[in-house]
Amino acid sequence: MERTLDQNKTPILEALNNVKNMRIVPFDVPGHKRGRGSPELTAFLGEKCMNVDVNSMKPLDNLCHPVSVIRDAEALAAEAFGAAHAFFMVGGTTSACQAMVMTACKKGDKLILPRNVHISVINALIICGAVPVYINPQIDKRLGISLGMSVRDVEKALAEHSDAKAVLLNNPTYYGICSDLKKITELAHARGMQVLVDEAHGTHFYFGGDMPVSAMAAGADMASVSMHKSGGSLTQSSLLLTGKNVNAHYVRQIINLTQTTSGSYLLLSSLDISRKNLALNGREIFRHVTDLARYARDEINKIGDYYAYSKELKNGDTIYDFDATKLSVNTLGVGLAGIEVYDILRDEYDIQVEFGDIGNFLAYISVGDTDKNIERLVSALSDIRRLYKKDRSGLLEYEYISPTVVTTPQEAFYAEKTSVPLQECLGGICAENVMSYPPGIPILSPGERITGKIIDYIEYAKAKGCFLTGTEDLAVNRLNILKGGI
């Protein structure tokens, strides 16, 4: 007889409370023994937190092989998100993205994907040896941002690489731009390919009203969802959702290749509690978030020179839809790079936005925000325009450069390499990632040709204060390139 799922239930939370009330004497890990062995940490985090920082035990199930409370919590999450299965991930959406790629592809298999993917996807290619077939995204030259995947470009890639195993999409992008996910899914399925969706910034699509279509509703096979971003769970907690035609037992095996055997019950319980909140209250929560974002956009656009963009960008293809909860703001009209506005907001106004890049910044709005906070942001931006506005000449006006791929990420990353000063790398083949974080989209990936335009971009990003990562040289003054070229 099929069990009835009750979205009011929180199986992991309830089990943790039961264990806490039993007052068990711990002769297991963690070694702080409910906080007593680490008084300074307990004073900082509190006894309530330390009491439930526990390891797997029979009453609490096991994340690697769930048979009781974690299994039940995952089943509730699957129902709430409209998926066949849901997996609790404690390695962030990075681990969920990598599990998707490694489930769908083995060494030598082709994966069709946009080049402006998160670094986690590139790293998955390095690990498993799959071969990327990149679709270079089109660019909005006014905003300087890359767009979604064009259906026409996807059709072309599918025809030219009919042996590919899967198609991967970012949906939505960091800026809120959505592709025609349903149409692309139908095209890929017609050719027997799986559809993987990096849905890190789309948790709310499953619960809010008047939202872009979610990956599961569009028929995708797998989706990685950052519950900690817009879903309210703790940082590093995430979900991997799968559709009905995916072997969930194999997915679990893939996850267990890299995920810890000591899953944090703080993270797991936060997923459980947040799922309940979204299932019961999500529509109202995200109506409020959408209203806050709309008000903020209207007020910012009244200031002048800034452009807080939204659904007016929709073009039926590369911007098929837009996530109206995103407060993405173009700053080039003020004569400042997005990262410069980011720094001024933080250093001068004690306002921390999500990220800034060459021409834009993103202020992440969630259920935790208030009208007062929005007013403070708008006021600060008005001040910045008055105090810091300058001529925009000399500003770079794009955040993406189409790469020339010479060899696969895995081959390049593990090849013999040499460290060369950045300005001497022209024409070389990169053997490591170079990216600005956030958003974590590589400027260069292993196996790509280093051009003068890319070198100029890296130098410009460094000069503007972007936080560049991925390189062996922490100062990014040198790059690892392949010895002898290709």
Question: Over the stretch 186-243, which tens digit does the pLDDT of each residue have?
Answer: 999 999 999 999 999 999 999 999 999 999 999 999 999 999 999 999 999 999 999 9
In a domain, 139, yes or no: no
CA nearest to 449, candidates 417, 476, 427, 420: 427
Q: 383 and 439: one domain?
A: no
Residue 364 lies in a domain: yes
CA-closest candidate to residue 175, choices 139, 206, 145: 145
Task: Rank 390-394, 398-402, 406-410, 435-439 by mean pLDDT and report only the highest.
Answer: 406-410
Domain end call among 388, 420, 453: 388
Q: What are phi and psi of 194, to 5 degrees?
A: -80, 155
Instruction: List the structure tokens of 273.
Output: 């509690």
Q: How many domains does the chain have?
A: 2
Is 76 in a helix, a strand, or coil? Answer: helix
Residues 282/204, Cβ–Cβ less than 8 Å: yes
**Of 323, 356, 388, at which residue does a domain stop?**
388
- At 419 the pLDDT is 96
Q: Report the CATH number that the domain containing residue 445 is assigned in CATH.
A: 3.90.105.10
Q: Is residue 125 part of a domain?
A: no
Same domain, 310 and 370: yes
Helical H segments across 325-427, by residue range: 338-349, 371-388, 409-414
Q: 131 in a domain, yes or no?
A: no
Tell me the residue ranges of DSSP E strands in 60-155: 85-89, 110-114, 131-135, 139-140, 145-146
Q: How far apart are CA 39 and CA 433, in angstroms?
A: 40
Separation between Cα atoms, residue 300 and residue 327, nearest integer Å: 10
Q: Are residues 298 and 377 in the same domain?
A: yes
User: What CA–CA distances, in Å, run from 408 to 46, 75, 131, 165, 419?
Assistant: 48, 37, 6, 16, 19
pLDDT for position 1: 33
Structural domain harbouring 338: 282-388
Best mean pLDDT range from 13-27, 260-274, 463-477:
260-274
The answer to whether position 327 is within a domain reads yes
Residue 366 lies in a domain: yes
pLDDT at res. 104:
98
Residue 20 has pLDDT above 70, yes or no: yes
Residues 426, 359 share a domain: no
Q: Is residue 437 part of a domain?
A: yes
